[in-house]
Amino acid sequence: MSMKELERFQMNMKYYREKNNWSQERLADLLNVSRSVITRLESGEQEPDLSYLLSLSEVFQVSIGHLIGKDNQTNQYLYEVYGKYETEESFLHIIDYLVKQPKMASMLQQLLLAKTKDRKLIEDILVSVVEKATKISE
């Protein structure tokens, strides 16, 4: 599994776990593994073997290709995303901002390619800067 596939897998695993409102413990129970296995898979400390991919594919009801980001987005997924954008007006503002600020969109694309630990550090720094800037401008 390439680094990019592993990172997509990590994001997709966490996304589908949270979408189902499952804790790591609940998902571990469903897969008959320890919670620490789920933590290691989501953090990238452990690469998923075929048995984990098969089990996760079954419990999330998505293809293995989808879990690792190899398939095209399905119509159902596009509908879900489109529906979310329709109901979450703030997303429309964010999308509009990114369309109008291509440099920022490019930087976010680069952030997505960063290693998970690096990305989390950068995200924490960005959150801190935005929070401080918001307080200053009030």
**Burial (Cβ within 10 Å: 0-12, 13-18, ≥19) of residue 109:** exposed
Integer Cα distance of 47 and 95 in angstroms? 33
For residue 15, which of 54, 52, 42 has the smallest C-alpha distance?
A: 42
59-113 tens-digit pLDDT: 999 889 888 877 654 444 544 555 555 545 566 667 767 766 778 888 988 888 8
Domains and CATH numbers, the chain: 3-67 (1.10.260.40), 75-137 (no CATH)
From the centroid of its chain, how far is CA 30? 21
7-55 tens-digit pLDDT: 778 888 988 898 899 999 999 999 999 999 999 999 889 999 999 999 9
The model scores a pTM over 0.95: no
From the centroid of its chain, how far is CA 86? 20
Residues 66 and 72: beta-carbon distance below 8 Å: no
